[in-house]
Structure formats: structure tokens, C-alpha cells
Amino acid sequence: MRVALYIVVGGIAAWFLYEPVIYKLLTRPLNPVLAAQHTKYMFTSIIQPFMLRMQVCTIAGLILMLPFVTMEVWGFIAPGLSKNEKKPLKWVAPLSIVLFAGGVALAYFILPLGFEWFSHYIPKNAEIRPSVPDTMKFVMMMMLAFGIVFELPVFLMLLAQVGIIDSKMLKRNWRYWVVGISMGAAITCPSNDVLSMVSMAVPLLILYVASIQLVKFVEKKPNRE
């Protein structure tokens, strides 16, 4: 009930921030292309602006209240964990937030470059009039995809915590992870262009190397007795 209340409060706050902040942020990556093409955004029906605002504000409300939602989830899980299990997991929430924010920021940074690359394929005798809902949903999907895949270290830490993997396994199988990360970037990236896939894969490979050290920190030690 408290999580639902948090989302409602966040949605109301997002409603007032929609036009001056959220709308401008989600449409800004494509603005240079529109300026070069001397065109602008469009809606295809009279109800689209209202429905889009409702959908975006609901998602934005959840994002704004994410720290409070995380606290509620932790409050539900924590009583079932021992002290030794709680110690490494205390790093999960702040680390996951930092990594998610880093992925979102990287996606937002490369989106204008990706849009500019796509614009080169517009024929000279044609013009583009992108739909506002399609553009905003695409930008949000890109940022969400980058944010989720950047949670790789947290995912590996959780697997190490329950004893499924260890740092030696990650070192030994690094070649398979390189192939898997490259394929995952190609599949996960909504735009499917080379620039976006490389921009996702390279940081993930760096995070994988860092994950080996994080896994060492939380992995279960062998019982010497």
C-alpha cells in the first residue's frame, strides 16, 4: 500500500514537471535532426497528448520514488536474512542505483549521435515528421535497456552470494562472457545500430572486469575444516 501511495505521489509531481522538464528531456536528443530537416514533431490524434502524459508520468513517478520503493522492498526482505547475508547486500541497493543511473546517462549521451547517423538515410526528396509518442517511448526504452544491462555487476554479486559462481569461474570463462555480452548488446539495444551496440558492449566488458573483484568480496569462502 505504501509503494502504491509513493507511485501516486511521484506521478502527481511528474505531472507538473512534464512539460517544463520531462517532455524537453525526452525530445531533446532528436531536436538537432529536426532542426537540420526544418521539420517538427507531430501527434496523430487529439487524445494522444493526454494519454502520453498519463503514461509518462506514471513511469516517471515510479522512477522518482524508486529510493522509497527500494526501502520498502528491503524492509520486506531484511528480516529473513542473517547478519552475514545482510552485509554484502547492503551494497546492492546503492550500487544498483549508481549503475542504473550510469547506464541511463550513457544512453542519453549517445542518442543524439545515433539519431544523426540514422538521419543520413533520409532521401533528399523526403522529410521526417516523427510522432511524439514513438520518439519518447523509443528514448525511454533505450535508457531503460542501458540501465538494466548495466546492472550486470549486481547480478553477478547475487549469484556469487548464493554460491552459484565465483571469481575463478569468471576469470576462466572470460572468452564466453565477451561473446555473450556482444550478443546481448546486439539483442537488447532497441535501435540495432552499430554505434549504440558498441557503446553498450564496451562499458559492459569493463563492468565485467570490475565484477570479478566485486564477486571476490561476496563469494562464499571454502570451508577449511
pLDDT tens-digit series, residues 17-70: 999 999 999 999 999 999 988 889 999 899 999 999 999 999 888 888 887 887
pLDDT tens-digit series, residues 6-19: 999 999 999 999 99
Asked if pLDDT for residue 223 goes beyond 60, the answer is: no
Of residues 222 and 132, the one with the higher pLDDT is: 132
Domains of the chain, by residue range, sit at 2-218
Confidence of residue 224 (pLDDT cuts 50, 70, 90): very low
Q: Look up residue 188 and give its amino acid.
A: T
Statement: the pTM of the whole predicted model exceeds 0.75: yes
Distances (CA, A) of 51 to 57, 136, 159, 163, 202: 10, 13, 40, 46, 37
Tell me, what's the pLDDT at 5? 93
Separation CA 24–CA 119 (nearest Å): 20
Separation CA 25–CA 19 (nearest Å): 10
Mean pLDDT of 139-167: 82
pLDDT tens-digit series, residues 169-220: 888 888 888 888 888 777 777 666 677 778 788 888 888 888 888 887 776 5
Residue 197: CB atoms within 10 Å = 19
Asked if pLDDT for residue 99 goes beyond 50, the answer is: yes
Asked if pLDDT for residue 159 goes beyond 90, the answer is: no
Task: List the one residue out of 63, 59, 57, 76 whose CA is nearest residue 1.
Answer: 76
Residue located via cell numbers 525526452: 26
Chain center to CA of 65: 16
